Chains A and B, each alone.
Chain A
């Protein structure tokens, strides 16, 4: 059994017991790909009454390596507008990068970080160069090295 499987098994049984408000497990059929729904808990007009779908992809090295986390677009699940979220769902959060990641993080803590990232935002805009990036990007999210230092969110 791989390290990731063992750890994810532990996380799943905890998630099945309880999750913080605003986070819901949609599916976890294997230990490679999970889907969760999140929503903000305050009345931020940018995100009020919306639910967002997250896709987690785990490598065999999880939690040593970060999971790949993106927002997924569905009929009733838009991509939240945010200066660090590209319109194809890729998230620019240092927690999810190779540098900012720590193996003590877990699915639940990532969801909570994303929740608070949305809650704290009031800019109705996409990252600079979004269109260009979305058109040209062929890289997997984890291979993109974002510049986190310009973050003010």
Chain B
């Protein structure tokens, strides 16, 4: 009879501890490595002062949705998702750091080939190429409501700093709930407290009010005149404005030049392959870049003013026959000296020259870097504009070509229709061989049709010739379609 096994040992959940041990001591620490970033980030979260948990929940890499199928070679054999903070073992197998650490809690061997693994000596950094491949994977932002797609290396920045849908702590210090960044109210009050809905008197938290109105509210309903959906009265206007499939709307690329305007449902279908989409997206991207650039420019200006003020102060001090030589790098010659009483601050600064000099030197370095950045941004801007133009040019050409093709098609169709009508007429009235293309064709046909009451052959021939002459490709035979 087989003996029972020892009871399970539950796995400790501390990622932090796991991460701390897998960096081999002899390995030089690369500050730019994913590992490093990850470790610092975790530390930050752990040291967050609040009792209410970290300001932002750490990004869960195992639930990310990748735009394209991830190549099998980049999938962790344990969690089956693209590696996150991968490490490579001495036996040559790659795993996510967390995955291999969890697996090792269970058995101190490689999950693939069962070679013994020692956390301190058998964990190595994977080749950079793997990290680069992982960084480049296109991934969707995991926040519900956000459709942002970016390369994985930028996701964390987006998620932590920019995504409007990231759940942050409620601004009210006594509330322990979380709220999407975009819904945080301007006056930082808690939006989680419940109050009765003014239409149906159900208790609803302020944050859920919009959703409640749209989907749950049982207040007085009204019927939409356009689509006959039944909507809560006070949301009817919003429904017509934002949802109703029957409302007339413009294509979202209207401002760029698409003049399509129709019922929302039709426009929605159209937008999927609107010819202006590519341009529109470029313009949008450019606007985003512009915003970024503007923000950076603003910061540069602020820094520049501050730098200038510093310079002035420094120069004043230097001119006052100072007791110390100003650091050579920062010897600003500009500056109108303002002789006068020494301020409290300056007296203090005088007593601590070297840190001051050091700071100034650093500051100037930073400043020059900011200038470089500004220049780079300008370059990028220019590049972007030329890129847009480059993209536009072939599209324009294609449009012209398409236009002319449509013209030719149109002509072929008209010709065929006339031909058919003529044949029908010939069979009905004059027997084979004679016919009139008919009066009804006059509307669609640019070529003048023969007189209405004349059914004789020559006229048809003439008509036929006239029409044939209009063929821009000069073919004698009817074109084959």
Partner pick for B3 among A61, A63, A129, A145, CB 8 A cutoff: A145
Cβ distance B109 to chain A, nearest Cβ, rounded Å: 8
CB of B5 within 8 A of CB of A104, answer no
CB pair B81 A10 closer than 8 Å: yes
Contact indicator per residue, chain B 44-72, by CB within 8 Å of chain A (1) or not (0): 00000000000000001011000000000
How many angstroms between the C-alpha atoms of A102 and B77 in the bound complex? 10
| Contact (Cβ within 8 A) B106 A65 | yes
A117-153 residues with Cβ-Cβ distance < 8 A to B are 129, 132-133, 136, 139, 142-147
Least Cβ–Cβ distance between A134 and chain B, in angstroms: 12
Q: How far is the CA of A89 from the CA of B4 in the complex (A)?
A: 18
Q: Are A104 and B78 in contact (CB under 8 A)?
A: yes
A1 to B62, CA, bound (A): 10
Do A104 and B111 have beta carbons less than 8 Å apart? yes
Query: Roughly how many angstroms separate A90 CA and B78 CA in the complex, as a whole number?
Result: 26
Number of residues of chain A lying within 8 A (CB) of chain B: 27
How distant is the Cα of A10 from the Cα of B111 in the complex, in angstroms? 19
> In whole Å, how far is A151's beta carbon from the nearest beta carbon of chain B?
14
Contacts of A104 in B (CB 8 A): 77-78, 111-112
Q: Which residues of A are found within 8 Å of B107, using beta-carbon distances?
A: 99, 102
Residue B443 lies at the interface, judged by CB distance under 8 Å to chain A: no
On whether A102 and B111 interact (CB within 8 A), knowing A1-B63, A6-B79, the answer reads yes
Q: For chain A, what secondary structure do more than half of its interface residues adopt (helix, strand, loop), or is it mixed?
A: loop
A6 x B5 contact (CB < 8 A):
no
Q: Does A64 touch B at the CB level, under 8 Å?
A: yes
Given known contacts A144-B5, A145-B2, A11 and B111 CB-to-CB distance under 8 angstroms: no
A102 and B114 form a contact (CB under 8 A): yes
The reply on B102 being an interface residue by CB < 8 A is yes
A141 CB to closest chain B CB (Å) equals 10
Q: Kindly identify, within residues 14 to 72 of chain B, every residue whose CB is under 8 Å from any CB belonging to chain A.
A: 60, 62-63
In the complex, per-residue mask of A1-37: 1 if CB is within 8 Å of any chain B CB, else 0: 1010011001100000000000000000000000000
State the CA gap A1–B106 with chains docked (Å): 21
Which residues of B lie under 8 Å from residue A146 when comparing CB positions? 2
9 further A-B pairs in the complex, CB-CB below 8 A; given A103-B77, A132-B1, A142-B5: A1-B60, A6-B79, A65-B8, A98-B5, A98-B106, A99-B107, A103-B102, A104-B111, A145-B2
Chain B residues in 8 Å Cβ range of A98: 5, 106
CB-CB < 8 A to B1: which residues of A? 129, 132-133, 136
B11 within 8 A of A: yes
Binary per-residue interface labels of chain B (77-100) against chain A in the complex, 1 for a CB within 8 Å, 0 otherwise: 111110000000000000000010
A103→B102 CA distance, assembly (Å)? 10
Interface residue from B5, B102, B105 paired with A3 (Cβ < 8 Å)? B102
- Whether B79 lies near A145 (C-beta < 8 A) is no
Chain B contact patch, size range: 20 to 34
In the complex, what's the smallest C-beta–C-beta distance from A10 to chain B, in angstroms? 4
Q: How far is the CA of A51 from the CA of B62 in the complex (A)?
A: 35
For B102, give its contact among A64, A99, A106, A136 (CB under 8 Å): A64
Given contacts A103-B111, A104-B111, A104-B112, contact A7 B5 (CB under 8 A): no
Q: Which 3 A-B pairs have the closest CB atoms?
A: A104-B77, A102-B111, A10-B80
Max chain B CB contacts within 10 Å: which of A103, A106, A136? A103
B2 interface neighbour in A11, A61, A63, A144, Cβ under 8 Å = A144
Q: What chain A residues lie within 8 Å of B62 (beta carbons)?
A: 3, 6
- Asked whether A64 and B2 contact (CB < 8 A) given A1-B63, A104-B77, A104-B111, the answer is no
Report the separation of the CA atoms of residues A98 and B106 in the bound assembly, to the nearest whole angstrom.
8
B103 interfacial contact with A, CB 8 Å? yes
Instruction: Pull 17 A–B residue pairs with CB atoms less than 8 Å apart, ordered by A.
Output: A3-B102, A7-B78, A7-B80, A10-B80, A64-B103, A64-B105, A65-B8, A98-B5, A102-B103, A102-B107, A103-B102, A104-B111, A129-B1, A136-B1, A145-B4, A146-B2, A147-B2
Instruction: Determine which of A1, A65, A103, A136 lies in contact with B99 in the assembled complex, contact meaning CB atoms within 8 Å.
Output: A103
List, in ascending order, chain B residues with CB within 8 A of A11's CB.
80
Which residues of B99-140 are within 8 A (CB) of A? 99, 102-103, 105-107, 111-112, 114
State the Cβ distance, B35 to closest chain A Cβ, in Å: 20
Q: Which residues in B have their C-beta under 8 angstroms from that of A61?
A: 8, 10-11
Contact check, A64 vs B4: say whether CB atoms are below 8 A apart: no
A103-B78, A143-B4, A146-B2 known; A64-B11 Cβ under 8 A:
yes
Residues of B within 8 A of A145 (CB): 2-5
Task: Give the residue among A3, A7, A11, A104 with the most B Cβ atoms within 10 A.
Answer: A104
Chain A residue with Cβ nearest B103: A103
Contacts of A65 in B (CB 8 A): 8, 106
User: Measured between alpha carbons, how far is A101 from B213 in the docked complex, in Å?
Assistant: 52
Contact residues in B for A64 (Cβ distance below 8 Å): 11, 78, 102-103, 105-106
CB contacts (< 8 Å) of B111 on chain A: these are: 102-104
Closest chain-B Cβ to A126's Cβ sits at a distance in Å of 15
What is the bound-complex CA distance between A104 and B112, given in angstroms?
7
| Chain B residue with the shortest CB-CB distance to A137 | B1
Specify which chain B residues have a CB less than 8 angstroms from the CB of A1 in the assembled complex. Answer: 60, 63
The answer to whether B112 and A102 touch across the interface, beta carbons within 8 angstroms, is yes
CA distance A3 to B84 in the complex (A): 14
Inter-chain contacts of A144 with B (CB < 8 A): 2, 4-5
